[in-house]
Structure 1
Amino acid sequence: MDNKKFIKELMRYGTEKYGLLYDRWVIFGVRGIDFLKEILVNNDAINEYNDAIFLVKNPNNGVLEYKTYSATIDPGRYWLVNPMNPSGTARIVEGIYKYKLGMHRGHKALNQYAKVTVNRYAIHQGSEPWFRWKDETPAVTQTDFFAIDIHAKGSSSKFVEMASAGCTVINSTWTDTGWRDFYSTVEAALSLRQYICYCVLDQSSAISILNSEKIRTEKETFVMRQEVNSGQKKSFFFFLKNIFSFLR
């Protein structure tokens, strides 16, 4: 599925599940997908920038505007092995959240406007390695203000490691074009509003969206074929009727 079609399906999902409107910018965070020429599911491995952030706006059902950014919505391996919280390291739960302008370690970033829900993952017993999120089971789920920010990364490393202890991190340093474009867009959007909506989807939801669109397309194709066949049958019967009338 190409990016634009996927974004339209995301918008449909956001409206149907959360009542989202797109007369203003909305942030979508989708786990475990790549988005170069088309949307592809990846292995959703731990400690990689393998998630996607979409900024979406469609004012008054006019021209669709969207921007895409490589990111991680998950904590890095360093904090999974060295959790700051005794209950384990936070990973934001699929859902809808509100964010505002703020600071992260001396840099302009997005902070929680309201509470978020996180799953916490305890340290592995016996120093077992961390590979894929689908193989992990959370120890506890909590809802509160946890400083789960949205920000840039502090180094050019291709691995997440210390860059995220549960925050969403754009795969861009503070001075790179990616982060500056993302933040400036949100900053302008929040000049007249207190918060921006952030809709988080797990990879499983992304797969469901991809599959549902495929099924819907197949159904539409089937209906079109049925209509064509029906039209052809009607034309054929009309042709036969004319022949019989002529023979009489």
Structure 2
Amino acid sequence: MKYGEEKYGLLYNRWVLFGVRGISSEEGSVNLNNDAINEYNDALFLIRNLNGSLECKTYVCTIDPGRYWLNHPMNPNGTARIAEGVYKYTLGIHRGHKALTQYAKVTVNRYAIHGAGKPWFQWKSESPSMKDTGFFAIDIHAKSSTSKYVEMASAGCTVLNSTWTDEPWKEFYSIVDEAISSRLQPYLCYCVLNQDSARPLIDAAT
């Protein structure tokens, strides 16, 4: 039984996207990291089973907002951080660039701005102030700068550690573009997992 087949009805004969927090994937090895705020320390996995053959593409990303937006929230209720769950994404535009955008509502946890200049270090030390569900432009896209820190690159979007013209983003987008444009699937299922939820899956696979 693959993850989500029974609970969410995921079909692995088409591309499924997994976003996993606090996971580093290098040279075929998957490891937990400290899930620090403002770093590209999450992983995106594009997975499908085609005629019995498993295909998997891996990309470094952040699933979380950068420090800049935590200190300068766009929403008065706090900055959005997408909650664990399964969501639907389709082709769209993010700030003039082709990207993946919401096909349906998503649920986010909102984090209120810190008082008294308290810094942001690790997500495990933070607690959301509320949950919110709707269309919030929580997109999946590339970054515009080469900075190693997230900062303004994400206000809650999933952002690959790749500029719009770098190979990782171009490969990722070409795969999802072909899958959706060819009508093989009208949307992509995006499964978001926190590190604690992903840990037993990783342990079982290693």
Residue 210 of structure 1 and its aligned partner are, at CA, apart by 2.8
Partner of 1:31: 21
Q: Which has the higher contact order (CA 8 A, sep 6+)?
A: 2
Residue 59 of structure 1 and its aligned partner are, at CA, apart by 2.3
Residue 21 of structure 1 and its aligned partner are, at CA, apart by 1.2
Query: Structure 1, residues 144-166: CA drift from partner, whole Å, max 9, x if none?
Result: 00000000001000000000000
Which of 68, 74, 78 is residue 78 of structure 1 equivalent to? Answer: 68
Task: Give the % identical residues.
Answer: 67
Secondary structure of the 1:75 match is coil
Partner of 1:138: 128
Structure 1 CA distance, aligned partners of 2:201 and 2:141? 27
Which of 125, 149, 152 is residue 115 of structure 2 equivalent to? Answer: 125
Q: Does 1:96 align with 2:110?
A: no
Residue-pair matches, total = 203
Residue 16 of structure 1 and its aligned partner are, at CA, apart by 4.0
Partner of 1:222: none
Partner of 1:114: 104
Q: Does 1:194 align with 2:186?
A: yes
Flag the structure with higher strand content: 2
Amino acid at match of 2:197: S
Residue 50 of structure 1 and its aligned partner are, at CA, apart by 0.2
Q: Does 1:42 align with 2:29?
A: no
Q: TM-score, normalised by structure 1?
A: 0.79
Q: TM-score, normalised by structure 2?
A: 0.95
Show structure 2 runs of 5+ residues with no match.
Answer: none
Residue 212 of structure 1 and its aligned partner are, at CA, apart by 4.6
Over 3 Å off, 4+ runs: 211-214
Residue 206 of structure 1 and its aligned partner are, at CA, apart by 1.3
Structure 1 CA distance, aligned partners of 2:89 and 2:171? 17
Residue 18 of structure 1 and its aligned partner are, at CA, apart by 1.8
Bigger radius of gyration, 1 or 2?
A: 1
Flag the structure with higher helix content: 1
- Indicate the larger mover: 12-21 or 154-163: 12-21
Partner of 1:245: none
Q: Does 1:176 align with 2:166?
A: yes
Q: Does 1:205 align with 2:192?
A: no
Structure 2 CA distance, aligned partners of 1:31 and 1:172? 17
Structure 2 CA distance, aligned partners of 1:76 and 1:66? 27
CA RMSD of aligned residues (A): 1.2
Residue 17 of structure 1 and its aligned partner are, at CA, apart by 3.4
Structure 2 CA distance, aligned partners of 1:66 and 1:49? 20
